[in-house]
Amino acid sequence: MLAAAMALAGCEQLPRGAAVEREIVAVAQGEIADFAVYPVDRALLAQLADWPQTGERRLNWIPASGGARTQVIAPGDVLEITIWDSNENSLLSSNGQRQVQIQALTVAPDGSVFVPYVGNTQVSGLTLQLAREHLQDEIDMVVPSAQVQLTLVEGRTNSVDLVGGVSAPGAYPLPDRNYTVLNLLAAGGGVQAGLANPQIRLRRGGNIYGTSVERLYDNPGLDTLLIGGDQVIVEEDRRRFLSLGAAGQQNQHAFTQDTVTALDAMAIIGGVDSRRGNPGGILILREYPTSAVRTDGRGPTQSRVVFTLDLISADGLFSARNFHLHGDDLVLVTESPITSAQTIFGLIGSVFGLANQTSNLAD
């Protein structure tokens, strides 16, 4: 009876919630297997450094650099000029007036503004102080006694957009040329709570750069300067992995940090189901592009790969702590063979119980 139970324990027709490890791994040993199996150990971890990344595309980031503490005028900015003149016969002011305001002078695409009695004058690329001195020199030729005051309202090319993931998204003017991403996040009220591993996306000139908020906080050298027209987007990490089988949770899970190891993943999914899971048979299924397939060890031998983890051994635990998950990975916790045997014993016990009840009724 015991032998029959153990034989039935390996039967594929038994009701259960996950595969047994040997059922999957054995297929890879056949001649027509379309996937490769790699036990995760110290030797494999050294090879994986040369293998390509899968899942969400990695983005580059722009290192920080120094900038001036002043703002410069750019096309699209709006200037307001106030001219003070005490001369009673001034060309610019009428009787009794001591000042003239010229409002809403938009800097043209060529960087110039039109000033009455002066004409077009170039101001783009100048700081507010240099532009005031330049206009003062121009107006001195017409009204030698006048004094010029200049104010600036930043236009689109002198402001940046902060989109999503913060308390106060919107357009923010650049107060100077030393305005950084962290300055902008602070102005927007900080990153919203509850975002899983929030990411920064910087759109500039048709290119997209990216890093995580955590990495930005930890590395001051990455707090890059912003330039007019930049768009900064704060969003949750888009990477996900799936857990199935005899795991604590069968679900899709967000990456909670930049690097999620196999042990991190086991903690996220609630570990192995103690009633039926096999901690020595954790499988991670991953699909590489066909261009990554190699025969020299610098890539997988098949595009479809199964990594096996043994969380019972010390080497397996250390290796799992250094094995990095990729986006779209599948973590499959296989079922323990003992569970199938227990199912058989339960079925046999039920049969004996039913037989005893039938015998008693017959008596």
Tell me whether residue 321 is in a domain. Answer: yes
- Tally Cβ neighbours within 10 Å of residue 150: 20
Q: Are residues 192 and 285 in the same domain?
A: no
Percent of the chain with pLDDT over 90: 47
Tell me whether residue 99 is in a domain. Answer: yes
Q: Are residues 299 and 312 in the same domain?
A: yes
Query: If pLDDT is split at 50, 70 and 90, which confidence band does 94 have?
Result: low
C-alpha 305/C-alpha 48 separation (Å) is: 12
Q: Are residues 254 and 337 in the same domain?
A: yes
Q: Are residues 140 and 181 in the same domain?
A: no
pLDDT score recorded for residue 338: 64
Tell me whether residue 256 is in a domain. Answer: yes
Instruction: Please check the confidence at residue 45 and state whether its pLDDT lies above 50.
Output: yes
Domain encompassing residue 124: 78-154
Where among 137, 154, 171 does a domain terminate?
Answer: 154
Q: Give the mean pLDDT of 34-48.
A: 92
Q: Report pLDDT digits (tens) over 264-306.
A: 999 999 999 988 899 999 999 999 999 999 988 889 999 999 9
Q: CATH number for the domain including 175?
A: 3.10.560.10
Q: Are residues 275 and 328 in the same domain?
A: yes
Q: Are residues 214 and 243 in the same domain?
A: no
Q: Are residues 100 and 28 in the same domain?
A: no
Amino acid (1-letter code) at residue 108:
A
Taking every pair of Cα atoms in the chain, the longest distance, rounded to a whole number of angstroms, is 132
Q: Are residues 221 and 261 in the same domain?
A: no
Q: Count structural domains, the chain.
A: 3
Where among 200, 235, 270 does a domain terminate?
Answer: 235
C-alpha 355/C-alpha 113 separation (Å) is: 102
Tell me whether residue 103 is in a domain. Answer: yes
Could you tell me the two tokens for 348?
Answer: 């046999």
Q: Report pLDDT digits (tens) over 257-269.
A: 999 999 999 999 9
Instruction: Please tell me whether residue 21 adopts helix, strand or coil conformation.
Output: helix
Tell me whether residue 39 is in a domain. Answer: yes
Counting Cβ atoms within 10 Å, is residue 192 exposed (0-12), middle (13-18) or buried (19+)? middle
Q: CATH number for the domain including 95?
A: 3.30.1950.10
Q: Report pLDDT digits (tens) over 195-235.
A: 999 999 999 988 999 999 999 999 989 999 998 889 999 99
Q: Report pLDDT digits (tens) over 13-29.
A: 555 556 677 777 766 66
Cα–Cα nearest to 123, from 87, 85, 155: 155
Q: Are residues 134 and 166 in the same domain?
A: no
Instruction: Find the DSSP H helices in 49-154.
Output: 128-140
Instruction: Please check the confidence at residue 10 and state whether its pLDDT lies above 60.
Output: no
Q: Are residues 271 and 222 in the same domain?
A: no
Cα–Cα nearest to 241, from 276, 284, 271: 284
- Residue 112 pairs in a beta bridge with 122
Q: Are residues 249 and 309 in the same domain?
A: yes
Where among 130, 154, 178 does a domain terminate?
Answer: 154
Tell me whether residue 8 is in a domain. Answer: no
- pTM value? 0.69
Tell me whether residue 355 is in a domain. Answer: no
202-229 burial: b if 16+ Cβ within 10 Å, else e = bbbeeeeebbbbeebeeeeebebbbbbb
